[in-house]
Structure 1
Amino acid sequence: MKLKHTFLGLFLSIQCISYAQETKSSTFGNGLFNLIGKDSTWSMKAGLRMQFLTVANWDKNIDGGFENLQENFSIRRARVKFDGFAYSPKLKYKIELGLSNRDISGASEFTSNSPRYILDGVLMYNFYGNFEFWMGQTKLPGNMERVISSGNLQQVNRSLLNSKFTLDRDQGIQIRHHFKLSEKFLIKEKLALSQGEGRNITSGNLGGLQHTARIEIFPFGDFKAYVASDLKRNTSPKLMLAATFDYNKDAVKTHSNQGSFMVTDIGFYETDINTIFVDAMFKYLGYSFMAEFAYRNATDPIAINSDGTPTGDIVQIGSGLNLQTGYLLSNNWEVSGRFTNIDLDEEITGISAQNQYTLGLSKYIVGHKLKVQTDLSYLSETVDNDELMWRLQVDIHF
């Protein structure tokens, strides 16, 4: 009964807001509704998106064939998002909530034993000229593939490089700035100071902070570099070259601010971790190319107890390379290909090198807002533990 009353109260509240404020209509994919205060001192746009995923995996046998079929059906992502401005258009906000099991997984003692519902919760203040101050939880300015929204990807999901090296989201502050060297030549700088343990962490932070710096160069002018595929079919070449350096002091997780906590017999194991990204995006007449390189090292990557014995936790140090390209046909079908190499330090991590080859096919019905994507991946490892994976996904965004 209480739940019923709660939903009824929420419905009535939304109705009251809708009647009390000016509502702008929106087209498909541009939000469920867009509210603007009568005095124009605030706005709110609400959006909803879902991804429905089917996956099939096979293991390669000694005869060169594939066996042990494993299938999975899931709602990969289900999210609601609100954004707009408050008091002044210079003060913007964004909050994004995850509702699927994979979005909210990670409940532990470090998240107060609560699911991690909040993906983004951030204020963005344009306080002077081209400077913006960000505060809250959001993506760090790390590798390009991670900053591209999961709803704007060229293939079904991100690469192995992202899963091994990404900085993902964290809580903290950021300063962002941009300037032009000429009429077209644009440079963007991004600095972040964050907690260093990832999103929604409420305990387990021992005081070491994470420092991230990124520079982006646009020699031919600005464009939507963080939307995969050249859906606009740019009539002039567009290029972004970028580099990120991240220093996580006294990190306590195996992937810098991601992975698992490194716990010893007397508490957390701490070590300084550095991560470097170099990436590029090129778009022209429906053709797109993205390249990413990642490198991570640590002062002392092997976690040990107070008596010097290893705990079994190891910082995943090494490098990764991801190359991805695609071409958009006139009927909005796109063919794409990806090569990913993961080369962790096998002597330290015990993990052998991996190569993954992916061929993708996408049909953009309403751009990235309504699309069907499928891809086929072959994963090759030096220990002959090869795998074949096929995926099919449908995206819908309101």
Structure 2
Amino acid sequence: MVVALGCLGIGTAQAQSVNDSKFGKGLQFIAADSSFSLKLGARFQTLYQGSTTSGSGEWKDRLLIRRARLKLEGFAYSPKLEYKIALGLSNNDIGNDNPEMFDNANSIVLDAVAKWHFRPNWELWVGQTKLPGNREHIVSSHKMQFVDRSLLNSRFSLDREAGLQLHHTHQLGQMVLRESAALSMGEGRNIAVNNTGGYSYTAQAEIFPLGEFEGGGAYVGSDIYREESPKLALAAAYNFNDDTNRSQGQLGDFLSGQRDLHTIFVDAMFKYRGFSTMAEFARRSAPDGPVITTTEEGQVDETFVTGDAFNIQAGYLFKSDWEVAGRYTTYNPERETSLLAQEQYTLGLSKYIVGHSLKVQSDVTLQDFPGRDNGYQFRLQLEVAL
């Protein structure tokens, strides 16, 4: 596919005009008649990860391609109709590392969405993309402050789904307000079978009391743009997933039963002159109880992931483009699920060579499991984004 796209670009070069193509910005083309535009980008993350526990002392490690992505975006027919296509090419992107499962080609599609600016400050999105949930997930994996997202995100994120989204933005003086609503399938991305239960309904409200962040910085890890004045973002989101059969709503194992799931998110981000901090709280509940089946011994066999989590992180980006950051995350599943509670303490060190497009990141994490051996993890990652 990549070769074919490259040949297409070469073969049509005479009919296109290259616009502002440089490292980290992708290849950009605009049709000679201005009927469409195309920006082609690619990126990958090479990760070394090692871990041990205080009980065993055995060091387990691996080297892998954490993510490999191909992205196409631009406008079609009119600048009012934008599109985005994102493909995940690594095993982790696709969702499994079993070679026998790779015939499930539609797992490759991350985003395939059209965005229609039908009125000033109004947008209608149609297709598959991220739902308007927690800020940490809305921040692209290309623009994270740490090697990867927190435990809160891995347990409670809404991830991506196919559906409709309506977005609105308005301004009151310096203050900016955004509202989003989404109707989606309820079972995650790339579901090709008929809907099993009901649909998923998501609403989000966001406020910027001190005005917009530089360069869309409310959805970028670290204060990479070094805000000249204090900037603050506050948001709350709610998701109702009607009769889902996946353990985490849009993610997780497919279970033998169905439940209504209610998820709330509250988050805040602040940035000023190289300093940045972000805090999030998430809670998910199942009114009919999360447990589906138990064994003859009374142990939980199938359960939905319910409970709450809190994450807070902060960092300072020096003028040398080195950043030191810290993160604390606590995850508290409901007792009846029999899932393990956990706390994580993470210290990160990053070097931004060309912003988020070329960077080296590392972090060390203490994983505290109440009543069990502690875990220790070290990660080192190189990111290259063309």
**TM-score normalised by structure 2 residue count:** 0.94
| Match status 1:77 vs 2:67 | yes
| Among candidates 160, 177, 201, match of residue 168 of structure 2 | 177
Q: Deviations over 1:308-353 (max 9, x none)?
A: x99821111100000000001110100000000001112x111232
Change (3 A) 1:86 1:161: same
In structure 2, the residue matched to 1:116 is 107
| Match status 1:45 vs 2:39 | yes
Change (3 A) 1:254 1:11: closer
Structure 1: distance between partners of 2:299 and 2:141: 37
In structure 2, the residue matched to 1:154 is 145
Report the alpha carbon displacement of residue 181 of structure 1 after superposing the two structures with TM: 1.7
Given that 2:313 and 2:326 are in contact with CA atoms closer than 8 Å, whether structure 1 keeps it comes out as: yes
Structure 1: distance between partners of 2:102 and 2:308: 30
Change (3 A) 1:337 1:22: same
Structure 2 residues without counterparts, runs of 5 or longer: none
Given that 1:78 and 1:98 are in contact with CA atoms closer than 8 Å, whether structure 2 keeps it comes out as: yes
In structure 2, the residue matched to 1:344 is 333
| Match status 1:216 vs 2:225 | no
Change (3 A) 1:251 1:110: farther
Change (3 A) 1:274 1:255: same
Identity of aligned residues (%): 46
| Among candidates 320, 325, 330, match of residue 309 of structure 2 | 320
- Count residues in correspondence: 378
**3-state SS of the aligned residue for 1:156?**
coil
Given that 1:302 and 1:310 are in contact with CA atoms closer than 8 Å, whether structure 2 keeps it comes out as: no
Structure 2: distance between partners of 1:177 and 1:106: 36
- What residue identity is the alignment partner of 1:80? L
- What residue identity is the alignment partner of 2:153? N
**3-state SS of the aligned residue for 1:116?**
helix
| Match status 1:376 vs 2:364 | yes
Given that 1:107 and 1:116 are in contact with CA atoms closer than 8 Å, whether structure 2 keeps it comes out as: no
In structure 2, the residue matched to 1:266 is none
**3-state SS of the aligned residue for 1:259?**
coil
Change (3 A) 1:19 1:84: same
Structure 1: distance between partners of 2:207 and 2:249: 26
| Match status 1:30 vs 2:3 | no
Given that 1:53 and 1:394 are in contact with CA atoms closer than 8 Å, whether structure 2 keeps it comes out as: yes
Structure 2: distance between partners of 1:7 and 1:168: 26
**3-state SS of the aligned residue for 2:315?**
strand
| Among candidates 207, 213, 225, match of residue 232 of structure 1 | 225
Structure 2: distance between partners of 1:54 and 1:185: 43
| Match status 1:202 vs 2:192 | yes
Structure 2: distance between partners of 1:89 and 1:14: 21
Change (3 A) 1:271 1:110: farther
- What residue identity is the alignment partner of 1:367? G
Structure 2: distance between partners of 1:76 and 1:126: 34
**3-state SS of the aligned residue for 2:340?**
coil
In structure 1, the residue matched to 2:376 is 388
In structure 1, the residue matched to 2:12 is 17
Report the alpha carbon displacement of residue 291 of structure 1 after superposing the two structures with TM: 0.1
**3-state SS of the aligned residue for 1:252?**
strand
Change (3 A) 1:250 1:345: same
Report the alpha carbon displacement of residue 112 of structure 1 after superposing the two structures with TM: 8.2
Change (3 A) 1:329 1:272: same
For residues 162-311 of structure 1, what are the structure 2 equivalents within 5 Å?
162-182=153-173, 184-203=174-193, 205-223=195-213, 224-263=217-256, 269-300=257-288, 301-304=290-293
- What residue identity is the alignment partner of 1:52? T
**3-state SS of the aligned residue for 2:328?**
strand
In structure 2, the residue matched to 1:3 is none
Structure 1: distance between partners of 2:160 and 2:41: 20
Report the alpha carbon displacement of residue 129 of structure 1 after superposing the two structures with TM: 1.7
Structure 1: distance between partners of 2:196 and 2:159: 20
Report the alpha carbon displacement of residue 105 of structure 1 after superposing the two structures with TM: 2.3
Structure 2: distance between partners of 1:168 and 1:339: 22
Report the alpha carbon displacement of residue 11 of structure 1 after superposing the two structures with TM: 5.1
In structure 1, the residue matched to 2:93 is 103
Q: Deviations over 1:292-323 (max 9, x none)?
A: 00000012211149xxx998211111000000
Structure 2: distance between partners of 1:212 and 1:233: 32
Change (3 A) 1:23 1:351: same
Report the alpha carbon displacement of residue 231 of structure 1 after superposing the two structures with TM: 1.1
Given that 1:303 and 1:310 are in contact with CA atoms closer than 8 Å, whether structure 2 keeps it comes out as: no
Given that 1:106 and 1:116 are in contact with CA atoms closer than 8 Å, whether structure 2 keeps it comes out as: no
| Match status 1:333 vs 2:322 | yes
Q: Deviations over 1:254-285 (max 9, x none)?
A: 1011111112xxxxx11100000000000001
Answer with 34-43 or 333-342: which moved more. Answer: 34-43
Report the alpha carbon displacement of residue 114 of structure 1 after superposing the two structures with TM: 3.7
Structure 1: distance between partners of 2:225 and 2:97: 40
Structure 2: distance between partners of 1:303 and 1:114: 31
- What residue identity is the alignment partner of 1:361? L
Change (3 A) 1:310 1:204: farther
Change (3 A) 1:8 1:240: closer
Structure 1: distance between partners of 2:373 and 2:2: 50
Given that 1:105 and 1:115 are in contact with CA atoms closer than 8 Å, whether structure 2 keeps it comes out as: no
Q: Deviations over 1:344-369 (max 9, x none)?
A: 112x1112321100000000001101
- What residue identity is the alignment partner of 1:181? L
